[in-house]
Amino acid sequence: MKSKRIPGSSSRRKTPWDAKPGLTPVELFIKSNYLTHYDEKHPHLDQTNEAELINSYPVTECPYCASHKLIRSGFDSNGIQMYRCKDCGRRFTRITGTIFQDHKISVTEWIEYCLDLMGYNSLNATAKVNKNSYTTSKYWMEKIFLLLQSIADEMELSGTVYIDEKMYRAASRDLIEVNGSKLRGISRNQYCIAIGYDGHDTYCYVEGTGKTSIPKTWKAFGAHITPGSKLIHDKEKAHVTLVKRLDLKSTAYDSKGLHGLRDKENPLDPINRQCFLLERFLDAHQGFNRNNLQDYCNLFMFLVNPPLNKLEKIKKLLDSAMTSAVTLKFRECFKVHSDD
């Protein structure tokens, strides 16, 4: 059986002269400097101090059977402390059962990747900067999606809350046509994203395709706005359910009547700004599968919400990665199967 090659999985370590004997001085110089830079971007696991980092996280239970009867059991080849479970007998490390299980990329490189993402860079751009294949960048992104999948579960906007709906187009390959013509206006060719902002946190929820509705609005915001808050919004009729059921103090504006106002004069500018930033972020990843739209919205929330310092965000994400029982294998991510 022959394995199918995953598109975009070509290594960026390759040069045109890898199989060529007797390189010219120019070819040798370019290749040497390129590989030196590549190796700086991709340090081997034993060349970093990540074993010390990983070993600093406490281990309290077996990732296989949840037993608390553990003993230390030596170190792996990279200096990471190993444990053995007295109940099931299996050996493991702190990162077993996390997104770093069986990782071949150093934590240092993963941090650089995350910092690039925070600059609203696309996967292609991030892959090129870090000299990774596109599939590696995509694989890391999917792992980050796993870590952020519950980011909004406990988010609650309060005080003065601005809300709106941002329509975002379907991918070109998914556009629906009727009698040879694409649907126009607010239709199934556009996704409705509910957005809320209270001056501190931004909340996003993908309602689905087409125009919002009372049930969609309640599902999006009902558990994420503190009762009694002040609601500033446009005159979308579906918002009435929030005002009544959450006892909100409503101030509604006719969005058409605000056209032409300067930003600082527009009472809806705070939420308009969040809509603009979300669209800019999504456009940086053009062509992405819209089935992952909520995942990208989760990433956007992580990027724009506190903590605002990028390094503090990295610490928060790294702590979650080291302690969350979520993992994803490369082949599962791309669902590649062998030929029969």
Q: What is the pLDDT of residue 243?
A: 98
What the block records as the tokens of 307 is 């903590």
Q: What is the pLDDT of residue 2?
A: 46
Q: What is the pLDDT of residue 71?
A: 97
Domains of the chain: 160-305 (3.30.420.10)
Measured distance CA(131)–CA(93) in Å, rounded: 29
Peptide bond into 43 cis (omega under 30): no
Q: What is the pLDDT of residue 199?
A: 97
End-to-end CA distance of the chain: 6
CA distances for 285 relative to 88, 268, 304, 337, angstroms = 44, 27, 17, 27
Q: What is the pLDDT of residue 43?
A: 66
Q: What is the pLDDT of residue 137?
A: 85
Mean pLDDT by 10 residues, the chain (340 residues): 50 78 84 71 68 93 96 93 97 94 81 83 77 83 93 95 95 66 69 97 96 97 98 96 98 90 93 96 88 95 94 93 89 59
pLDDT in tens, 144-162: 999 999 999 989 999 999 9
What the block records as the tokens of 215 is 């049930």
Measured distance CA(166)–CA(27) in Å, rounded: 51
Q: Tell me how many degrees the CA angle 203-208-209 measures, rounded to the nearest 5.
A: 130
**Within the chain, where are the H helices?**
25-41, 50-55, 107-117, 123-129, 134-148, 214-221, 240-245, 269-283, 293-304, 310-323, 330-334
Q: What is the pLDDT of residue 188?
A: 76
Measured distance CA(195)–CA(202) in Å, rounded: 7
pTM exceeds 0.75 for this model? yes
Give 239-264 as a DSSP string.
GHHHHHHTT-EEEEE-GGGGTT--GG
